[in-house]
Chains A and B, each alone.
Chain A
């Protein structure tokens, strides 16, 4: 039996019964990383020594009968989540040598559970992108086809789960950065409701949209990770005080009578037919399970991409102004005065996509353009949220494709920012409206590349969308990548 192929809950059973040890499990993953990550390139930093020390501590907990649900589970962490004493680069030359002096709240929570952190995984620079090809250190590949992108920005998280180079991972999602790579890599990714998981220690991109969430082999494993990281945090003023709950509560739920809305705009122009057909087939599968399908419309969807890019870039331009080369981050060797030093440090440290977003954000916020761009984008945010409210009056959840196409070749799209931005059409409205959504595989195209569907839930109703994803996964014929 290859223990790296197991689900987290099955590892738990074997660890608790003593059939396998944490050290054995950790070594199995480290061996796989050594064997396969040279080609997948999902990790930026592998923390082998740290992992083996954590494995020892976890084994003691298990032996004492004090194992929490993720005790001894080997996980990968997106490299924009601060880890005390361990490099956190955001896949940017700007933070190439940055060692955080503190842990993100999610890391504190995972450490309390005694996880085994295998390392920090790649992403698009500062989480800006959908291909992981803007990473300054590891341009991750798709485990299903190494010529294709894994998606992004949490491409390292999704690819490492897909290739069984970790049991589960944390990613972050500002406009689809958990769901889109999960779809491309044939795994399950959950973007929680805004405020559900603390953002303290997540390197900020767009603060009103960013949210940390799990990527795992299936919805049940995602729920176990969300159970560990969710909850109010006094260090995050946008963290919700909604009580913590058990996100596995609706695993095994009966889909009979569940109302699923299918908004027509998500299946039309710009969406590949093979993707739309696979998701509509999944809708039919839900109908066979007893769910009721409801047709609906989201007229403002066509404005979602510009609204998202204006809001997120405006926030990014402000958030990224902290990188001055003085307090931390890349410091240029050229600079006669203060201003020159800052400009040169930023010019050398940031990649071109990050610079474009800073320029766009400054444009949207600058005098004379503010009302026409940023103000209008905020108005659209309200309109899109209102359209979701209206759809949710008639249904329990919404079903859409996660992406307009399957994973594309690494030499396509990535150098054309406009094409890349338009590809976010299926995911950005969820962040705009602060909703939770889960992406899971619903089919494979003619080249055996995975197709992802998204189930969008009402605010703070992650349990229902996890239950619905689990119901589908139970009857779905999953195909692992060849290397697994």
Chain B
């Protein structure tokens, strides 16, 4: 995997790397992708209709409103002010 691809993936993942870290990561990712590539040997097709057999997605609760967590609990792990999350300026 080249440096350009690692930079692209890190932008997608909102990660930042120094040049040195980027180089090391590219080497590690190349070895990791080599193992992943072994699945190219086998010819199998994914059947979307046959899926969800293993994962239960149908037990959703009724779409009804109910009491939610109090604001102070939601903000307790954040930098906050006046009952709001504080973020850097987003509009110039």
Residues of A within 8 A of B (CB): 97-99, 101-102, 194-195, 208, 232, 234-241, 300, 302-303, 305-307, 309-310, 317, 321, 324, 326-329, 331, 335-344, 346-347, 350, 352, 355-356, 358-364, 366, 372-373, 375-383, 385, 417-418, 421-422, 433-434
Contacts and interface: CB of A to CB of B under 8 A. Distances in A.
A361 B25 CA distance: 14
Contact of A194 (B35, B54, B90): B54
Nearest to A364: B36
Contacts of B61: 234-235, 237
B77 A97 contact: yes
Contact of A379 (B10, B37, B46, B54): B46
B6 A359 contact: yes
Interface of B: 1, 5-6, 8-10, 12-17, 25, 28-29, 31-42, 44-47, 50-51, 53-57, 59-61, 69, 73-74, 76-79, 85, 87-90
A307 B39 contact: yes
A302 B12 CA distance: 30
Given A310-B36, A326-B79, A359-B13, 16 more contacts: A194-B55, A234-B61, A305-B35, A306-B36, A306-B37, A306-B39, A309-B35, A326-B78, A335-B88, A341-B87, A359-B9, A360-B29, A363-B5, A364-B36, A385-B54, A433-B54
Contacts of A327: 77-78, 85
B42 A300 contact: yes
Instruction: Specify the main secondary structure of chain A where it touches its partner.
Output: helix
Contacts of B1: 363
Nearest to B60: A237
Given A310-B36, A418-B35, A237 B14 contact: no
B78 A346 contact: no
Given A303-B38, A422-B35, A366 B12 contact: yes
Contact of B46 (A337, A375, A385): A375
B59 A417 contact: no
B35 A238 contact: no
B10 to A, nearest CB: 7
A383 B44 contact: yes
Given A101-B69, A237-B59, A239-B56, A378 B9 contact: no
B51 A378 contact: yes
B67 to A, nearest CB: 13
Contacts of A329: 77
A337 B15 contact: no
Name the residue in A97, A239, A329, A346 with the highest tally of chain B Cβ atoms < 10 Å from its Cβ. A346
Contact of B44 (A240, A364, A379): A379
A359 B90 contact: no
A434 B85 CA distance: 39
Contact of B10 (A307, A359, A364, A372): A359
A342 B10 CA distance: 12
Given A317-B13, A328-B78, A356 B44 contact: no
Nearest to A344: B16
Given A194-B55, A382-B51, A331 B42 contact: no
Contacts of B34: 418
> Closest 4 A-B residue pairs measured CB to CB?
A328-B77, A101-B73, A379-B46, A379-B44
A240 B57 CA distance: 9
Given A382-B46, A418-B31, A347 B59 contact: no
A411 to B, nearest CB: 18
20 contacts: A101-B73, A102-B73, A208-B54, A239-B59, A240-B59, A303-B42, A310-B39, A329-B77, A338-B90, A341-B88, A342-B14, A343-B15, A356-B29, A360-B29, A362-B9, A363-B33, A376-B44, A378-B46, A380-B44, A382-B44
A341 B85 CA distance: 14
B38 A306 contact: yes
A380 B42 contact: yes
A12 B32 CA distance: 48
Given A238-B57, A346-B15, A355 B25 contact: yes
